[in-house]
Amino acid sequence: MAQDVRYLSPVNIDIKKDKYCRFQKSGIKFVDYKDANFLLKLLNEQGKILPRRITGTSSKFQSRVNKAVKRARHIAILPYVGDQLR
Question: Do the Cβ atoms of 35 and 43 come closer than 8 Å?
Answer: no
Q: Using CB under 8 A, which of 3, 75, 83, 86 touches another protein? A: 75
Question: Applying CB under 8 A, which of residues 30, 59, 84, 86 lies at the interface with another protein?
Answer: 30
How many Cα atoms are found within 13 Å in the side-chain-facing hemisphere of 77? 16
Q: Report the amino acid identity of residue 54.
A: I
By the rule CB under 8 A, 25 interacts with another protein? no
In the complex with another protein, the residue whose CB is nearer, 1 or 75, is 75
Residues 3 and 19: their CA atoms lie apart, in Å, by 36
* Site residues, another protein (CB under 8 A): 29-30, 32-34, 36, 71, 73-82
